[in-house]
Amino acid sequence: MRPDSINWSRTQNLMALEFPPHRRLHRQVLRCMLLFALLQPCAALGLLHAARELRWAHAGAWWAPAAILFAAAGCTLLVSGVPLLFWMRNWSRGLASLHQGIRRLTAGMDPKPITITGEHEIAYLGMAFNGMAGKLAASYAELSEANRTLEIRVAERTTQLRAAAVEMERLAKTDLITGLANRRAFTQGTEQYFERSTRTGKDLVCIAIDLDGFKGVNDTLGHARGDEMLKISGEVIRDCCRSEDLPARLGGDEFIILLHLDEIELARPVAERLQSEFRKRTAAVIDPATIKTMPSMSIGIASRRLSGAATAEALIHEADELFYKAKRGGKCRAEFSIPKQAA
């Protein structure tokens, strides 16, 4: 029989009968015994009638054969009924266990072995069911172990993917050489810093930095030493900044810092420390005799309050103009914003 030809809904309905198979067997056997008990007197009366017609008994002594026939019927019923009851009990127990086991399977519960009694057909069916239940239990155990292993691997892979996503996000916003924020991250943060300065009333100061003599280091000592200068610059800038400041490398040898200060003069010691630390650390790794001009920093410091910049881009442009002015003035200098009226 093909699986698609089975009426599964009817099978489920039969499994949920009000009277399970073993109880239905009791009812059928009791009906048979009751019918047998009713037929015995009828047979006895028929025999008595035949005996009287054939003159096998005197008219006044017909009860004796009747008693004998009734006694024979009772003995027959007793002798045949007791073995039938024992047989019915064994069958009903096997049917009850088998029915209960099948109901557990259809309900989605774990299969359990059923009790085997006797050597009749129901017992063989019970043994077959136990074999099937054992294989199902082993399959369930293997499937559960596979699911558990799969869940562990999925959890591990999810953790790895999340960590990779976080790392990719960090790399997307970080300059690989210096470890500072890159141009993308700096651009995303400028509007937030400018809006905060407008809201709190504090001055927003932009420090633009350009390395002097960086091209000479690359041409004379090689790009590896030039990358080392960039790393030193990143370390110096990071050490001179606070946690709430935004330092970044815009590209090449250009760096920038956004910071909130009460006034622009507070940025002067920051610029002096940047230049001093940079000179000290470059002197430790570069021999002045090997290069024409030692690297230094030209710095432009622009104030939102003094420059009157209406946008973050205008403030950054002002700082760029100031560090170009510092370069033209002799390099290794710092130029500050002055009030527009004074300019």
Identify the pLDDT of residue 211. Answer: 92
Identify the pLDDT of residue 343. Answer: 43
**pLDDT over 90 (residue 100):** no
Catalytic residues: 253
Q: Which CATH number fits domain 183-336: 3.30.70.270, 3.10.270.10, 1.10.8.60, 3.20.20.70?
A: 3.30.70.270
Going by pLDDT thresholds of 50, 70 and 90, the confidence category of residue 120 is low
Identify the pLDDT of residue 148. Answer: 92
For 285-294, what is each residue's pLDDT tens digit? 888 888 888 8
Longest dimension (CA), the chain: 159
What predicted TM-score, i.e. pTM, was given to this entire model? 0.58
Identify the pLDDT of residue 18. Answer: 45
Task: Specify the domain boundaries for CATH 3.30.70.270 within the chain.
Answer: 183-336
Q: Whole-number mean pLDDT of the chain?
A: 78
For 244-279, what is each residue's pLDDT tens digit? 999 999 988 999 999 999 888 999 999 999 999 999
DSSP string, 112-175: -PPPP-SSSHHHHHHHHHHHHHHHHHHHHHHHHHHHHHHHHHHHHHHHHHHHHHHHHHHHHTB-
- Only one residue has tokens 């442009």, namely 317
Please tell me the least confidently modeled range out of 42-56, 168-182, 304-318: 42-56
Please tell me the least confidently modeled range out of 76-80, 231-235, 275-279: 76-80
> Which of 145-149, 199-203, 216-220 is most confident?
145-149
Q: Calculate the alpha carbon distances from 324 to 47, 303, 305, 317 in Å.
A: 138, 16, 21, 11
Beta-carbon contacts of 19 under 8 Å, excluding residues fewer than 6 positions away, are: 27
Identify the pLDDT of residue 342. Answer: 45
**pLDDT over 80 (residue 224):** yes
Identify the pLDDT of residue 257. Answer: 95
Joined together, the tokens standing for residue 329 give 């003035």
- Mean pLDDT of the region 219-238: 91
Going by pLDDT thresholds of 50, 70 and 90, the confidence category of residue 1 is very low
Identify the pLDDT of residue 73. Answer: 62
Helix axes 63-106, 121-172, angle to 10 degrees: 10
**pLDDT over 70 (residue 319):** yes
Give the whole-number percent of the chain exceeding pLDDT 70: 65
